[in-house]
Structure 1
């Protein structure tokens, strides 16, 4: 018996909305009778964050996004990050789950001496999603901090924070075999030990990898956001050895995204 001919479309939509975005796409492809339900706004709105309207209202392209169908909007939000909070933060969805991902741009971070031109300069990079990134000119003490409210993140989700950066090769000094301290804490409680990580790719650190967007990232730590209650996640990069000056580091931001077991 073909249940797709018996159940009304409202019931089919409800059933599919209880699965996942990937399952909805598979349903539309393998069963023509389910395609209308699987592609419907009723299904895909369930996969979007409950506060998606408030989030997209902050971007300059909100009118375009609001006019999209819910499936089209979902695909747009995982493939094209949007800029919010005066374009200092980016937001996107994780493709398979619809979980929230944020990147706090360099302007949304607290960088020690960041507004002192002799230490840091603010410039643009062709492969950055932000209009400005921070480039280190010369410091002996390096410290970068940031934070985000846990209620902005997806609940019941294991997150990791990543420093997104690159080096200006011909002018980079002070990072080879000299690790920095990376730390993540929730309301002052550190879920695990802080990390000592060399950012220089020549040191082949297990916590540093190349991204597909022209940048590198260093995993700073992870935490579990259980209920999304009021709280604050704080993350920091700190200099551990002040015996040497450093230059040439370019910071795009700090990204928070779901981390899956084994990834």
Structure 2
């Protein structure tokens, strides 16, 4: 079918790239998030994180991020501004959503289907764009899988627009229909850090599949981290959250975080998946 060959190209218009820096470190599941010198306090009347704390955490980035906002931001008061940031702001024609977590005061991002790179998504034989009424997002266009034998859903983000010195997790959010089929083999989830210029050159063609292995350079981090997850036993008809990986935001190195959800083992045709998007959020303390 010629379907199993593609290139991982992340259009600059789909992602935010302010030329910031980040680095991947091994995660310690017992390590607590380094939020600030002290935990931000919440006003019990307004539900807002105290301005002095929240501004200290995000003011160095949120103004840049809001340049891509789809609608004007009400800046008539700090209360109105941060109320919008807590509820979420759509970016780049609703390809992304940015918000500040109320509890921690940390930046979060959602990359919707339109903000991801999905193999064959514009071929009506394999995928369809559907508009759904989502309880959280209102009308939202999502990618619905009709049938593919080679599944790839890729994304990229500059971690420096996230809060620094924080452990983040990357989570795919999707739904499997009751009639979904072809999911006997597990899907593969991959994360890696890569220079911004290299993102456009990265190939995921089958002949280059050996690139997607855990390669160590010296004593540092592996170039790619992978894990497998079975969807066969996942519930049907409800949203599923699948963790692709986690990373630590260190402003020392200029890299982008790239992530993929792939299904190609066995060559079976797959159907019945509805992709909402990928969320990058601070990892909860365990």
Give me the TM-score of the superposition, normalised by structure 2: 0.68
Distance (whole Å) between structure 2 residues aligned to residue 119 and residue 228 of structure 1 = 41
How big is the shift at 1:39?
Answer: 8.5
Aligned to 1:110: 117
Cα 1:101–1:111 change in 2 (3 A) is same
The answer to whether residue 172 in structure 2 is matched with residue 154 in structure 1 is no
Aligned to 1:166: 175
What SS is found at the alignment partner of 1:54? helix
Aligned to 2:260: 236
Cα 1:164–1:190 change in 2 (3 A) is farther
Give me the TM-score of the superposition, normalised by structure 1: 0.73
State how many pairs are aligned: 223
Q: Greater CA deviation, 55-64 or 141-150?
A: 55-64
Distance (whole Å) between structure 1 residues aligned to residue 120 and residue 234 of structure 2 = 27
- Of 146, 149, 160 in structure 2, the residue corresponding to residue 140 of structure 1 is 149
What SS is found at the alignment partner of 1:138? coil
What SS is found at the alignment partner of 2:93? coil
Gaps of at least 5 residues in structure 2 are: 1-35, 196-220
What SS is found at the alignment partner of 2:185? coil
Computed over aligned residues only, the root mean square deviation of the Cα atoms, in angstroms, reads: 3.0
Gaps of at least 5 residues in structure 1 are: 1-16, 30-37, 205-209
The answer to whether residue 105 in structure 2 is matched with residue 81 in structure 1 is no
How big is the shift at 1:40?
Answer: 7.3
Equivalent residues of 1:20, 1:47 under 8 A apart: no
How big is the shift at 1:74?
Answer: 2.7
What SS is found at the alignment partner of 2:175? strand
Equivalent residues of 1:88, 1:107 under 8 A apart: yes
Aligned to 1:179: 186
What SS is found at the alignment partner of 2:121? coil
Distance (whole Å) between structure 2 residues aligned to residue 159 and residue 221 of structure 1 = 9
Whose helix proportion is higher, 1 or 2?
1
Distance (whole Å) between structure 1 residues aligned to residue 164 and residue 90 of structure 2 = 22
- Of 41, 45, 50 in structure 1, the residue corresponding to residue 55 of structure 2 is 45
Greater RCO, CA 8 A, separation 6+ = 2
Distance (whole Å) between structure 2 residues aligned to residue 39 and residue 197 of structure 1 = 37
Aligned to 2:227: 195
The answer to whether residue 62 in structure 2 is matched with residue 91 in structure 1 is no
Distance (whole Å) between structure 2 residues aligned to residue 99 and residue 229 of structure 1 = 20
- Of 20, 23, 28 in structure 1, the residue corresponding to residue 39 of structure 2 is 20
Q: Greater CA deviation, 178-187 or 235-244?
A: 235-244
Distance (whole Å) between structure 1 residues aligned to residue 54 and residue 280 of structure 2 = 24
Q: Greater CA deviation, 53-62 or 148-157?
A: 53-62
How big is the shift at 1:72?
Answer: 4.2
1:111-139 CA-partner distances (Å, limit 9, x unpaired): 11111000000111211636311000011
Distance (whole Å) between structure 2 residues aligned to residue 144 and residue 93 of structure 1 = 26
Aligned to 1:7: none
